[in-house]
Chain A
Amino acid sequence: MTRIAVERAAGPVRLHLAPGLLQPRLVSRGGTSAQVALVASGATLLGGDEVAVDVEVGDGCTLGIEDVGGTVAYESTGAPSRFDVRIRLGVGARLIWRAHPFVVTDGADVRRRTAITLGEGAALLLRETLVLGRTGERGGRLATALEARSTSGTPLLIEHLDLDGASPRPGVLGGHRVLDTALLLGRRPPEAPVDPADPVGPRVLHLEQPGAIGRALGASAHATDVAAMMESWAPAVGAGEGGA
């Protein structure tokens, strides 16, 4: 299991990095913050593979994670592959994870689980780009389960998706192959000025609890503006801004 943990210490933050199928590398660190790159060793997910990533950000710490290269899930040989992420944020902790696309090729069968726990005043900004198939493909099966709760158990966002590139469903993804999402939890996003002449762009879904989903359905991972939305939301998460 890949593990990334950050906690306060006398002097710079203390980091625990343990490699799994993905390898964390320290980029930089300071008194309360650290930046880590996540390198895929092989960058592929085969049938039966199980990737697990555990991220823990201690009280008052800020962590940035940058993926180096995306992940491609290949045809399963009977057994589904798994990609499990667990994120735990302490009191006032912050995490920004700029994840790269997750591609599910024809014949692949993948289960993705993302379990998030937010401490009081914590904030999370997470990019998730799901792509059904490489160019010219329709894509395989992808079942995702994202569950985010506060430490006290308040549900923030519970979203399970059942996608199958071989049988697209109107109302789920329709004919689109890409679901590109910026997920903000623990903060309300800045109100963006709406340009009625240019309604194209990510849709913002404001959650009941502080948080939002910026989301675009598209034909290709490059065509969405979610990356720009992600950066426009990042200051709300950043240290000293946004409020708790």
Chain B
Amino acid sequence: MLLADSRLPAGAHVSSNALEAALRDGLRRDEVGAYLASRQVTVTRVEAGTAVLARHLALTCAPEELAPALAALEAEWAARTPGRAQREITRVLGDGLRRLADVLWPGAIPPVAAGAPPRPRPVVLGLVAAAAGLPAPELVRLVAYDDAQTVVAALLKLEPGDPRAGAALVLEACAAMEPLVGPLAALQDPVLLPSAGAPQTEDWAEAQSALPRRLFRA
């Protein structure tokens, strides 16, 4: 519950999940639901799978094996996340969550090797899930909810409307992930992390990082 709360002091409010760039590129308000559904089965699916795998590694690896196993998982995630801006913001948000986790679940997040970038958010989330006893299917649903809620919260700031309609959008988006919860929750091998590209979303994410007079960083 705590992890799904956008008021958690982990910096997630700086992201619109590229919605701001999408709206400027002509995405209509009545297409936001379809955008959310596309995200769920593409980029969010990759994030959820990454989180599940991090949780699995934390629960099964010997302590000295965990850091290299996480590095290999992060390489698989990065190879499925082609945009530099997207990887950067996911690492910035991951580091925000890591700072919080270091207080709430000390020792849950192994430090990265010297010179390595911060762990991406789904990896940190998976490690926290392992420490907090969150089951894998709930972790997938948490990632799904978090992604949709981020977009909808941004929508209400960018194009104010009825917040109840926003809540309905979040519910519909989470339903789009539901058929994938089982297969994602069962993942154990980082090499088998699903890939599901969304070229327009990746384009918007890069555009967002260079948007003039933007409200959101991502």
Residues of A within 8 A of B (CB): 145, 148, 154-162, 169-174, 176, 179, 203, 205-209, 213, 215, 217
Contacts and interface: CB of A to CB of B under 8 A. Distances in A.
Given A170-B31, A208-B87, A155 B79 contact: yes
Given A159-B195, A160-B196, A170-B38, A206 B203 contact: no
B199 interface: yes
Contacts of B207: 203
23 contacts: A145-B195, A148-B79, A157-B79, A158-B79, A158-B193, A159-B82, A160-B197, A162-B196, A169-B34, A169-B37, A170-B35, A170-B38, A171-B201, A171-B204, A172-B42, A172-B199, A174-B200, A203-B202, A205-B84, A207-B79, A208-B87, A215-B203, A217-B199
B76 interface: yes
A59 B202 CA distance: 35
Interface in B46-80: 75-76, 78-80
B104 interface: no
Given A161-B196, A161-B199, A173-B200, 13 more contacts: A145-B195, A155-B75, A155-B76, A158-B80, A159-B197, A171-B201, A172-B38, A172-B42, A172-B200, A172-B201, A203-B202, A205-B84, A207-B78
Nearest to A154: B75
B194 interface: yes
B206 interface: yes
Contact of A171 (B35, B76, B84): B35
Contacts of B22: 170-171
Nearest to B117: A208
B132 interface: no
Interface of B: 22, 27, 31, 34-35, 37-39, 42, 75-76, 78-84, 87, 193-204, 206-207
B83 A205 contact: yes
Name the prevailing secondary structure of the A interface residues: strand
A158 B75 CA distance: 11
A213 to B, nearest CB: 6
Contact of A207 (B31, B82, B194, B199): B82
Contacts of A172: 38, 42, 198-201
Nearest to A179: B199
A156 B198 contact: no
A159 B80 contact: yes
B79 A209 contact: yes
Nearest to B212: A196
A161 B197 contact: yes
B42 A171 contact: yes
Nearest to B41: A162
Contacts of A148: 79
A169 B38 contact: yes
B186 to A, nearest CB: 18
A145 B197 CA distance: 10
A209 B77 CA distance: 12
A159 B198 CA distance: 9
A156 B75 CA distance: 8
Given A158-B76, A203-B206, A171 B198 contact: yes
Contact of B202 (A169, A174, A205): A205
A4 to B, nearest CB: 26
Q: Top 5 closest A-B pairs, CB basis? A: A155-B79, A171-B38, A208-B78, A171-B201, A160-B195
Contacts of B195: 145, 158-160
A159 B76 CA distance: 11
B118 to A, nearest CB: 14
Contacts of A215: 199, 203
A170 B34 contact: yes
Contacts of A217: 199-200, 203
